[in-house]
Chain A
Amino acid sequence: MTEITKLTIAEARAKLKEKAFSALELTNAYLEAIDAANPELNAYVAVTHDKARAMAEASDRRLAAGEGGALEGIPLGVKDLFATEGVHTQAGSHVLDGFEPRYESTVTANLWADGAVMLGKLNMDEFAMGSSNETSYYGPVTNPWRARGDNKALVPGGSSGGSAAAVASRLCAGATATDTGGSIRQPAAFTGTVGIKPTYGRCSRWGTVAFASSLDQAGPIARDVRDAAILLRSMASSDPKDTTSVMQDVPDYEAALGQSVKGLKIGIPKEYRMDGMPEEIEKLWQQGIAWMKDAGAEIVDISLPHTKYALPAYYIVAPAEASSNLARYDGVRYGLRVPGKDIIDMYEKTRAAGFGREVKRRVMIGTYVLSAGYYDAYYVQAQKVRTLIKKDFEDVFADGVDAILTPATPSAAFGIADEDMASDPVKMYLNDIFTVTVNMAGLPGIAVPGGLDANGLPLGLQLIGRPFDEEMLFRTAHVIEQAAGRFEPVKWW
């Protein structure tokens, strides 16, 4: 039964409807695959065998009755950042030890309401802070991709590294993920999967552990563009429980696939051509441009002049918001408590033991830039720069550009415990150089595989769209996918 884990969501959905196999059989096939592979890949931090089977059986009953939602019987993995009722929810952190929320996040509740089955919780960088999944308290995730002729373990990217690795290695049909600076698109690019960060406000943030509230946005990682469209339609909603959730109907994203891109204006921003960018990334970008041109799109050179300031502005705004959001982990209401001689000592010891190095670093930066005397110099300055970054995009969209095409990452996946990255936090941060602008401006962005590099590792292209025009991204990404084909790792795990 392992073959059925190779089906996309769209394919499995059709087979379930025609009763080629049951939802329970499909779920069991995935559970078997997880149990066999997880010791190698470490993609899951909790596997919910019993819950998965019970949900699958309920799906089978609905399917037998000719009922069933858009994702009926489809087994999914959930990033550990989403609150799942009665199930391990620790955001990859030691400080949330044992936390099992008494409520369900809006995004996951939407998926279950559509009939999806939960396989378990997926590994991630601690509190979504990282680009390699190495900051997780549960240890790094191993990328199912390896360079040709090399057994070296590579990172799957981060922070949604577990989600991307699980989708690429067929340990779930699709996964939820979140993206604050590139945490959906960078791991998707590193694993040959498709990941979309929708417009800020499209998916409810309610019940998602907060990192940087003005940047955080949930989205899916999937095997192909169609599956990403199917998943996003279910995940997105208008939620009265999130004040920044947009009150707009969710369109049928799947309907955008196959629509012609003839006459569309695709912008190519010159500022994304970075010094020292590997030749292969440039080649991939040119290939993407050629594909869009062949499909009839008009290619226009554009300028986004404040691009280089997005990453430094992000490293003020995101840590500032994180230092405030993470103040709640105090050893009182949930998770870890380390005893102290008084309450302050208890707080300080709990947070020292509970947070990893990267999280501490960001909380410290955030606390510093918000502290008396520095607020205007750092935080206000960064928020002004952010206004300018957003205006760059508004200007090109006002000129009639329909979508912007860029590389998704400045390199392919790198090794676990890479010394260069470990010695300099800024080097790791540069992974998000092409993705972070999109979060700063609140726009939607999709990463879609564009090909393999000389070592046989996947590389991704990114398309950026107007606010709430995810349909344009599915439409254009589908054209790339049709031209590039799909990429799967050779199974070694």
Chain B
Amino acid sequence: MSVDIATVKHVARLARIAVDDADAERMTGELNAILGFVEQLNEVDVSGVEPMTSVIPMEMKKRQDAVTDGGKAADIVANAPATEENFFLVPKVVE
């Protein structure tokens, strides 16, 4: 499978990365090189094979359903580019 420029622009939109026409053209070539490389996986007979879901078989750790952390709003927003009274500030999203 290979991608064209329109697909690359669509994927860039999904990935929320702004691309101009020159970027999209360059990326099309790069992505097709990688997609061409991974194509060989289709040779592998995977009938009856389960996809891997856990690298090391182990039971998921569980803990008590209790609040163990919190009360540190100032720490949470400390690195944000724009804040006001412990809220993150973003451009207006509702009219």
Contacts and interface: CB of A to CB of B under 8 A. Distances in A.
Interface in B12-49: 12-19, 27, 30-31, 33-35, 37-42, 44, 46, 49
A425 B30 contact: yes
A253 interface: no
Contacts, number: 167
A316 B88 contact: no
Given A244-B58, A332-B90, A364-B15, A381 B41 contact: yes
B66 interface: no
Contacts of B60: 243
B93 A355 contact: no
A254 interface: no
Interface in B47-78: 49-53, 55-56, 58, 60-61, 63, 72, 75, 77-78
A258 interface: no
B52 A343 contact: no
Given A102-B78, A240-B61, A368-B3, A348 B52 contact: no
B11 interface: yes
Contacts of B92: 342-343
A384 B53 CA distance: 9
B40 A368 contact: no
A92 B61 CA distance: 32
A351 B12 CA distance: 10
B8 interface: yes
A370 B38 CA distance: 14
Contacts of A309: 40-41, 44
Q: Number of contact residues on A: which range applies?
A: 35 or more
B27 A315 contact: no
A348 B18 contact: yes
Given A306-B44, A384-B49, A385-B46, A337 B30 contact: no
B36 to A, nearest CB: 8
A77 to B, nearest CB: 23
Contacts of B1: 374, 377
Contacts of B72: 102
Interface in A168-191: none
Q: Which of B13, B34, B53 has the most CB of A within 10 A?
A: B34
Nearest to B38: A312
Contacts of A343: 90-93
A138 interface: no
A323 B56 contact: no
B49 A355 contact: no
A368 B27 CA distance: 12
A382 B17 contact: no
A381 B46 contact: yes
B6 interface: no
Contact of B42 (A355, A365, A380, A381): A381
A348 B9 CA distance: 12
B16 A347 contact: yes
B55 A214 contact: yes
Interface string A332-365: 1111110111111111110110010000110111
A14 interface: no
B6 to A, nearest CB: 13
Considering residues B12, B17, B63, which has the most beta carbons from chain A within 10 angstroms of its beta carbon? B17
Given A361-B27, A426-B33, A344 B58 contact: no
A259 interface: no
A139 interface: no
A315 B81 CA distance: 33
Contacts of A199: 56
Contacts of A441: 55
* Closest 9 pairs between A and B when the two form their complex, measured CB to CB: A383-B51, A442-B55, A337-B81, A334-B79, A348-B18, A352-B18, A384-B46, A102-B75, A312-B38
27 contacts: A98-B79, A102-B75, A240-B61, A240-B63, A312-B37, A313-B38, A331-B81, A333-B79, A333-B88, A344-B16, A345-B18, A346-B91, A347-B16, A348-B18, A349-B18, A352-B18, A355-B17, A361-B30, A364-B31, A365-B34, A368-B31, A383-B51, A387-B52, A388-B44, A390-B52, A425-B34, A426-B33
Given A355-B17, A371-B11, A426-B34, 17 more contacts: A100-B78, A102-B72, A309-B40, A309-B41, A312-B39, A327-B16, A332-B88, A333-B80, A334-B79, A348-B16, A348-B18, A351-B18, A383-B53, A384-B46, A384-B49, A387-B52, A425-B33
